[in-house]
């Protein structure tokens, strides 16, 4: 039985389209994706329990043993209670947000407060009119409720999502997955894990043969005839 390729991903990241692309391209290597918090996802890669992880950058306690490849950026939004002044605005500024009570969220909140889901807890406090919280847009959508609203923060730093894996675990499977998430087609991918290294994939087109002239080569007799006609 073939062991699955395990990929951890943090909340807000939606790997479904990559799962579909992988299943079409690599049917001999099943993909298993598992939701995890940031620290858990990174630790799973370090421990060898996952080949790769889709995480938010920058990484805390990153080391030279890991490949870290940025994939895309996400806009920040502020989550506020319904009927807050922000509700009438299409977007707000960071200065407007900082004038409010901004609630802490993330791994630090988890460690300090022992909260099992710090984002959910923060959004619940927002709904109770305790303050506001700034989140990546996809995370805010994940925790959307009828009693809160979300507005883009125009000048807030964006958050980045990246792919990480151990350098020691680098190989065709890791490279193939990176190709999938970066949108490379099967033909343009660096290699296919089901094919031996250095061998062209079966679906690749063979190199075109050397181009030949459409007319037959002329013999010396033909050339002499040609010269006789010149004046």
Domain locations along the chain: 5-73+159-181, 76-152
**What pLDDT was estimated at residue 167?**
95
Report the SS3 class of residue 145: coil
**What pLDDT was estimated at residue 197?**
29
Q: Write the pLDDT tens digit of every residue in 169-216.
A: 999 999 999 999 998 876 654 544 433 323 333 323 333 333 333 334
**What pLDDT was estimated at residue 212?**
36
The pTM score is: 0.73
Question: Does residue 149 carry a pLDDT above 80?
Answer: yes
**What pLDDT was estimated at residue 207?**
32
Structure tokens at 7: 């990929």
**What pLDDT was estimated at residue 18?**
95
Q: How far apart are CA 110 and CA 12, in angstroms?
A: 17
**What pLDDT was estimated at residue 60?**
80
Q: Write the pLDDT tens digit of every residue in 27-79.
A: 999 999 999 999 999 999 999 999 999 999 988 877 889 999 999 999 999 99
> Does this chain's domain 5-73+159-181 share its CATH topology with 76-152?
yes
User: Is the separation of the CB atoms in 9 and 15 below 8 Å?
Assistant: yes
**What pLDDT was estimated at residue 184?**
82
**What's the CATH code, domain 5-73+159-181?**
3.40.190.10
User: Is the separation of the CB atoms in 193 and 26 below 8 Å?
Assistant: yes
**CATH T-level assignment (fold) for domain 76-152:** D-Maltodextrin-Binding Protein; domain 2 (3.40.190)
User: Is the separation of the CB atoms in 101 and 163 below 8 Å?
Assistant: no
Question: Does residue 1 carry a pLDDT above 80?
Answer: no
Burial class (CB in 10 A: 0-12, 13-18, 19+), 26: buried
Enumerate the H helices of the chain as residue ranges.
Answer: 16-25, 38-47, 94-98, 107-113, 118-127, 137-142, 172-181, 220-229
Burial class (CB in 10 A: 0-12, 13-18, 19+), 71: middle
**What pLDDT was estimated at residue 195?**
33
For the residues 107-126, what does the mean pLDDT come to? 71
Q: Write the pLDDT tens digit of every residue in 91-116.
A: 999 999 999 999 998 554 444 445 56
Helix (H) or strand (E) holding 163: strand 159-166
107 vs 149 pLDDT, higher one: 149
For the residues 80-94, what does the mean pLDDT come to? 97
């Amino acid at each position: 039985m073939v062991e699955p390729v395990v990929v951890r991903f943090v909340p807000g990241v939606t790997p479904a389209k990559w799962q579909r692309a992988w299943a079409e391209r690599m049917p001999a290597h099943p993909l298993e994706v598992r939701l995890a918090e940031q620290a858990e996802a990174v630790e799973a890669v370090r421990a060898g329990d996952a080949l790769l992880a889709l995480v938010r950058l920058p990484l805390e306690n990153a080391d030279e043993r890991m490949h870290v490849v940025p994939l895309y950026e996400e806009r920040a939004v502020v989550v506020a209670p319904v009927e807050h002044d922000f509700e009438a605005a299409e977007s707000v500024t960071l200065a407007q947000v900082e004038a409010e009570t901004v609630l802490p969220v993330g791994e630090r909140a988890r460690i300090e407060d022992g909260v099992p889901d710090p984002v959910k807890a923060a959004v619940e406090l927002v709904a109770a009119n305790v303050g506001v919280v700034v989140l990546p847009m996809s995370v805010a959508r994940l925790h959307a409720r009828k009693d809160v609203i979300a507005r883009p923060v125009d000048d807030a730093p964006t958050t980045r999502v990246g792919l990480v894996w151990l350098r020691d675990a680098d190989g065709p499977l890791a490279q193939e997955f990176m190709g999938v998430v970066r949108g490379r087609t099967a033909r343009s991918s660096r290699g296919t894990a089901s094919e031996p290294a250095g061998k062209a994939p079966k679906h690749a087109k063979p190199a075109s043969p050397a181009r030949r002239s459409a007319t037959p080569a002329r013999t010396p007799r033909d050339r002499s005839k040609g010269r006789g006609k010149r004046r």
